Amino acid sequence: MRTRVITRSHLAVMLALAGGLLLAGCSLELFPERDPEPVDRDLADILDRDTLRVITRNHPLTYYLYRGTRRGFDFELLNRFAEEQGLVLDVVLPPTWGDMIPYLLSGKGDVIAAMMTVTDDRRQRVAFTRPYQQVWQVAVGRKDTLPPMTIEELEDRTILVREGSSYDERLQELRSNGLDFEMVYHDERNELEDPVQLVAGDRYPLTVVDNTIARLEQHFYPDLVIGASISEHQQIAWAVRPNAPELLAALNEYLQRQDRSAFFNILKKRYFNSPRRFRIHRGAQVAQFREGRLSRFDDYFRAAADKVGIDWRLLAAQAYHESRFYPDKVSWAGAVGLMQLMPATASSVGVDDLYDPRENIIGGARYLNRLLRIVDENLAPERDDWRNRICFALAAYNAGMGHVFNARRLVREQGGDPDDWIQVADAFVLLEKPEYYRREGYAFVRGRQVRAYVENILHRYDIFSDIVPRTAPDEEKPAEDASLALLDVR
pLDDT for residue 292: 57
| pLDDT of 83 higher than 90 | yes
What is the pTM (predicted TM-score) of this model? Answer: 0.57
Q: What pLDDT digit, counting tens, does each position of 152-166 carry? A: 999 999 999 987 778
Q: What pLDDT digit, counting tens, does each position of 234-290 carry? A: 999 999 999 999 999 999 999 999 988 999 999 988 888 877 777 776 666 555 455
End-to-end CA distance of the chain: 58
What number of other Cβ atoms are within 10 A of residue 412's Cβ? 15
| CA atoms within a 13 Å half-sphere pointing along the CA-CB vector of 287 | 18
Least trusted range by pLDDT, from 120-124, 168-172, 412-416, 464-468: 464-468
- Mean pLDDT for all residues in the chain: 84
Rounded Cα distance between 91 and 474, Å, is 32
Q: Which residues contact 126 (CB under 8 A, 6 or more apart)?
A: 101, 104, 105, 112, 239, 240, 241, 242
Distances in Å between the Cα of 190 and the Cα atoms of 3, 12, 74, 200, 228 are: 18, 12, 27, 19, 29
Rounded Cα distance between 11 and 191, Å, is 9
pLDDT for residue 314: 96
pLDDT for residue 93: 81
Q: What pLDDT digit, counting tens, does each position of 330-389 carry? A: 998 899 999 999 999 999 999 999 999 999 999 999 999 999 999 999 998 877 788 999
| CATH no., domain 3-12+136-229 | 3.40.190.10
Rounded Cα distance between 372 and 396, Å, is 9
The answer to whether the 3-12+136-229 and 15-133+236-289 domains have the same CATH topology is: yes
CATH domain 15-133+236-289 topology: D-Maltodextrin-Binding Protein; domain 2 (3.40.190)
Question: Which residue among 188, 193, 217, 322 is the active-site one?
Answer: 322
What number of other Cβ atoms are within 10 A of residue 376's Cβ? 16
Rounded Cα distance between 362 and 367, Å, is 9
Amino acid at 1: M
Residue ranges of domains in the chain: 3-12+136-229, 15-133+236-289, 298-467
- Catalytic residue status for 322: yes
Which H or E run includes 372? helix 357-378
Per CATH, the architecture of 298-467 is what? Orthogonal Bundle (1.10)
